[in-house]
Amino acid sequence: MSSRAVHPKSDPRSLFGRRVAELRKAQGLSQEALSLESGLARSYLGGVERGQRNIALLNICRLAKALGIKAADLMAFEG
């Protein structure tokens, strides 16, 4: 990580993670169910939702497909 600290509320990883969690919960899915549907490990998904992972584009696409939405919809957060 760089020497410049990023505030958790404005960190794109945190914002993205909260968006994933919001959409997952709105569909009534558990982390386990979304991880199975997307092919991503549940522990990895948890790290994404907590803003601890810098998720790759391919994994963003996998999550979007599993949620039945466009990848751009996962990026629709205030930053």
Q: Classify residue 3: in a domain, yes or no.
A: no
C-alpha span between 38 and 71 (Å, rounded)? 13
C-alpha span between 36 and 73 (Å, rounded)? 21
> With contact defined as beta carbons under 8 Å apart, do 14 and 8 qualify?
yes
Report pLDDT for 78: 75
Q: Classify residue 17: in a domain, yes or no.
A: yes
Whether the predicted pLDDT of 10 surpasses 90:
no
Identify the domain containing residue 23 by its residue range.
12-74
> With contact defined as beta carbons under 8 Å apart, do 63 and 1 qualify?
no
> With contact defined as beta carbons under 8 Å apart, do 73 and 19 qualify?
no
- CATH number for the domain harbouring residue 27: 1.10.260.40
Q: Quick: pLDDT tens for 14-72.
A: 999 999 999 999 999 999 999 999 999 999 999 999 999 999 999 999 999 999 999 99
pLDDT category at 3 given cuts 50, 70, 90 is very low
Report pLDDT for 9: 78
Q: How far is CA 12 from the centre of its chain?
A: 10
What predicted TM-score, i.e. pTM, was given to this entire model?
0.87
Q: Classify residue 34: in a domain, yes or no.
A: yes
